[in-house]
C-alpha cells in the first residue's frame, strides 16, 4: 500500500483561493503497469469557520486487491493568508492490511513547531514560515500557477515525519491528454527529489489550466521500474466544460 499512499499525497490538490478555485469531488482510476490497481476519491470542503478541509481515500482494486486490501485515508485542515497556505492539521490513517498506521500533525505557528503523534513516540519538529505538509503542497502549486502561469520552477518546504524535505517542481511542455471524461489540454510538470533521497524514482504531473491547474493525471515510476498511473475519471462541483469542448 506504500505505492497507493504515495499516489494519494502526490496528486492531491485541495482548494484554497475561493475566488479562483472551487470546492469539488473527484475520482481517479489507478493502474499499475497497465493493470487496474485502485481508486482514489477526493473531496474539498470550505467550512463555515474559515477553515478548508481536504479528504482523500485510496482503496486497492483489481489485481492488487487480491494481495492488499489496505484503505488509506488522509485529511488536511488549513487556511489561506496572502496566497500562502497555512496548514493546521494533517491526519493519516491506513487500515485493512497487515499493519495499520496512524499519524497526526498539529501545526503551532506562533511557536513555529509541528507536533507529531504516531501513537508510539510523539515528537515535535521546528518549521519555518511557509512550510507545508505533503498532502497539500499541490494546492500551493495551483495558487502559484494562477499568480504566475509562466513560472518555470517552484520550491516548497515539506514537513514530513521527522524532517523538513525540499520539493522542487519544474515545468515541462504542454500536452493534450485523454481521460475518461474526454481530452484536456495540460501543462506537464516533474517533481525533483532531495539531494539525499533516492533519485531513481520519477514523478510527473499533468495539470489542466482550464480547471484551475487541477492535476488530471499523475505518473510515478519506482526505482524497480514499476509504473503507477492515476487519471481523473469523474469530477463534480467544478466547471468541467474544458472536457466538453475537446471531445
**What's the confidence (pLDDT) of residue 167?**
92
Confidence of residue 245 (pLDDT cuts 50, 70, 90): low
Read off the pTM: 0.82
Residue given cell 509504473 in the structure block: 227
What pLDDT does residue 50 have?
Answer: 82
- Strands annotated E in 33-162: 35-46, 52-60, 71-81, 84-95, 101-108, 113-117, 123-126, 132-133, 153-160
Q: Give the model confidence (pLDDT) of 81-111 as tens digits.
A: 888 899 999 999 998 777 889 999 999 999 9
Does pLDDT of 9 surpass 50? no
The H-assigned helical ranges of the chain are: 2-11, 137-147, 241-244
pLDDT in tens, 20-68: 568 999 999 999 888 888 999 988 889 988 899 989 999 888 656 545 6
pLDDT score at 3: 42
- Distance, CA of 91 to CA of 156 (rounded, Å): 20
Structural domains of the chain in order of their starting residue, each with its CATH number: 2-237 (2.40.360)
In this predicted structure, the answer to whether residue 152 has a pLDDT above a threshold of 80 is yes
173: pLDDT confidence band, cut at 50, 70 and 90? very high
pLDDT at 182 over 90: yes
Amino acid at each position: 500500500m506504500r505505492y497507493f499512499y504515495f499516489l494519494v499525497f502526490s496528486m492531491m490538490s485541495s482548494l484554497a483561493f475561493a475566488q479562483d478555485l472551487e470546492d469539488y469531488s473527484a475520482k481517479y482510476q489507478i493502474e499499475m503497469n497497465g493493470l487496474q490497481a485502485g481508486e482514489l476519491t477526493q473531496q474539498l470542503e470550505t467550512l463555515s469557520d474559515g477553515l478548508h478541509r481536504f479528504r482523500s481515500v485510496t482503496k486497492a482494486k483489481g489485481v492488487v486487491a487480491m494481495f492488499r486490501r489496505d484503505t488509506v485515508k488522509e485529511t488536511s485542515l488549513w487556511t489561506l493568508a496572502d496566497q500562502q497556505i497555512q496548514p493546521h492539521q494533517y491526519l493519516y490513517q491506513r487500515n485493512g492490511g497487515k499493519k495499520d498506521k496512524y499519524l497526526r500533525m498539529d501545526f503551532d505557528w506562533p511557536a513555529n513547531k509541528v507536533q507529531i503523534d504516531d501513537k508510539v513516540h510523539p515528537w515535535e519538529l521546528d518549521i519555518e514560515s511557509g512550510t507545508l505538509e505533503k498532502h497539500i503542497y499541490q494546492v500551493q502549486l495551483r495558487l502559484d500557477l494562477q499568480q504566475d502561469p509562466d513560472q518555470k520552477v517552484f520550491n516548497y518546504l515539506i514537513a514530513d515525519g521527522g524532517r523538513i524535505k525540499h520539493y522542487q517542481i519544474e515545468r515541462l511542455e504542454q500536452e493534450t491528454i485523454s481521460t475518461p471524461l474526454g481530452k484536456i489540454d495540460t501543462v506537464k510538470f516533474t517533481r525533483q527529489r532531495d539531494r539525499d533521497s533516492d533519485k531513481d524514482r520519477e514523478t510527473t504531473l499533468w495539470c489542466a489550466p482550464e480547471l484551475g491547474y487541477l492535476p488530471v493525471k499523475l505518473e510515478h515510476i519506482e526505482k524497480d521500474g514499476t509504473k503507477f498511473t492515476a487519471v481523473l475519471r469523474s469530477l463534480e462541483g467544478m466547471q468541467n466544460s474544458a472536457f466538453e469542448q475537446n471531445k
